[in-house]
């Protein structure tokens, strides 16, 4: 490639030549890539050809209509397509969610938001488990098959704990499983526990189990990032958990800060483990973590 090589030339060279360019002049690669991005942006911003229709704004002008107490709906046609969008909104008891300035919509460069809504399927109906920010109690919202009806059920919870995950056993009516992690940044060596709650569909508690966050347990001192905030509160962001039910077991993946290691640091890592849906206990024997997978 000569001195006047273009950004398009960069894509046409073989790997060996490209490696040589990177080794001899790494800044040149950045210049070429910058040029390529500018060229691509210019090409994608070209005016449409005559006869082509530019897409209109997706912001609807449709008015809300009342379907019942606390339920509204509006619908609109998507321009130049056969699609129709229906949007529903519901009056709920409690405060469902607050992004705390860390969602992608605020462009805060933090996309590791913990999951605020935990979707479930209950006998063909869509449901969501969430935690009210007014009293931190978990709530179950169940929608009708046409989303024209709505019911809300208060669920049992744990004090000063974040609703990190939720699952349903797929039975009728079945049971719900709520996983709640203790608030606070315990670094370097103060454990944070995980409370697992089994609840009936009417909101009554069936069983509860607290899993030790000690070094020989879940090895957890912090779930998420607190940005130096000391008062007990949920983590603003960075808290990650996934949970699913299958074959009488709950499979859980948990990301957390671990206890201080020999190098003096609290490392972040994930752990996979399984719980009995009946006893809510870890299937690995006590003091034997071979049933878990850590990384």
The pLDDT tens digits for 40-99 are 555 555 555 555 554 554 556 789 999 999 999 999 988 888 888 999 999 999 998 765
* pLDDT value of residue 290: 40
* pLDDT value of residue 289: 42
* pLDDT value of residue 288: 37
Residue ranges for the chain with pLDDT beneath 70: 1-60, 98-114, 230-231, 236, 284-295
* pLDDT value of residue 39: 55
Distance, in Å, from the CA atom of 236 to the CA atom of 57, rounded to the nearest integer, reads 33
SS3 labels along the chain? CCCCCCHHHHHHCCHHHHHHHHHHCHHHHHHHHHHHHHHHHHHHCCCCCCCCCCCCCCCCCCCCEEEECCEEEEEEECCCCCCEEEEEEECCCCCCCCCCCCCHHHCCCCCCCCCCEEEEEECCEEEEEEECCCCCCEEEEEECCCCCCEEEEECCCCCCEEEEEEEECCCCCCEEEEEEEECCCCCCCCCCCEEEEEEECCCCEEEEEEECCCCCCCCCCECCECCCCCCCCCCCECCEEEEEEECCEEEEEEEEECCCCCCCCCCEEEEEEEEECCCCCECCCCCCHHHCEEC
Give the strand order in the sheet containing 71-77.
65-68, 71-77, 84-90
Sign of torsion over alpha carbons 246, 193, 209, 159: negative
* pLDDT value of residue 3: 46
Tokens 């009995």 sit on residue: 276
């Amino acid at each position: 490639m000569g001195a006047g090589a273009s950004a398009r030339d960069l894509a046409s060279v073989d790997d060996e030549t490209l490696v040589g360019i990177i080794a001899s002049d790494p800044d040149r690669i950045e210049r070429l890539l910058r040029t390529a991005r500018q060229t691509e942006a210019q090409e994608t911003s070209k005016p449409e050809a005559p006869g082509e229709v530019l897409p209109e704004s997706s912001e609807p002008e449709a008015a809300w209509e009342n379907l019942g107490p606390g339920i509204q709906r509006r619908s609109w046609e998507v321009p130049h397509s056969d699609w129709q969008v229906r949007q529903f909104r519901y009056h709920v008891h409690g405060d469902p969610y607050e992004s705390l300035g860390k969602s992608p919509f605020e462009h805060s460069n933090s996309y590791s938001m913990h999951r605020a809504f935990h979707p479930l399927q209950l006998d063909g109906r869509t449901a969501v488990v969430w935690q009210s920010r007014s009293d931190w109690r978990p709530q179950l919202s169940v929608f009708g098959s046409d989303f024209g009806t709505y019911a809300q059920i208060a669920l049992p919870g744990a004090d000063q704990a974040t609703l990190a995950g939720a699952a349903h056993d797929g039975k009728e009516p079945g049971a719900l499983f709520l996983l709640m992690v203790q608030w606070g940044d315990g670094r370097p060596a103060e454990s944070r526990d995980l409370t697992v709650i089994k609840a009936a569909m009417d909101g009554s508690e069936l069983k509860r189990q607290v899993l030790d966050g000690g070094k020989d347990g879940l090895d957890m001192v912090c779930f998420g990032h607190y940005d130096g905030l000391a008062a007990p509160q949920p983590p603003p962001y960075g808290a990650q958990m996934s949970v699913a039910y299958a074959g009488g077991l709950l499979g859980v993946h948990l990301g957390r800060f671990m206890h201080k290691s020999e190098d003096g640091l609290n490392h972040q890592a994930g752990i996979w483990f399984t719980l009995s849906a009946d006893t809510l206990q870890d299937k690995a024997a006590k003091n034997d973590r071979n049933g878990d997978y850590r990384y």
